[in-house]
Amino acid sequence: MGKVSEGFWRFLAAVMLFAVCWSLWILYQLNPPVVVTRAAFEAAAKARATQSAKGIIQPATVPVDTAKLKLTESLAAPPIENR
Higher pLDDT, 30 or 83: 30
Per-residue pLDDT reduced to its tens digit, 4-46: 788 899 999 999 999 999 999 999 888 877 777 788 888 888 8
- Return d(Cα 47, Cα 39) in angstroms, integer: 12
80 HSE (CA, 13 A, CB side): 1
Higher pLDDT, 28 or 80: 28
The pLDDT-based confidence of 53 (bands split at 50, 70, 90) is: low
In the chain, where the domains are located: 1-50
pLDDT at 1 over 60: no
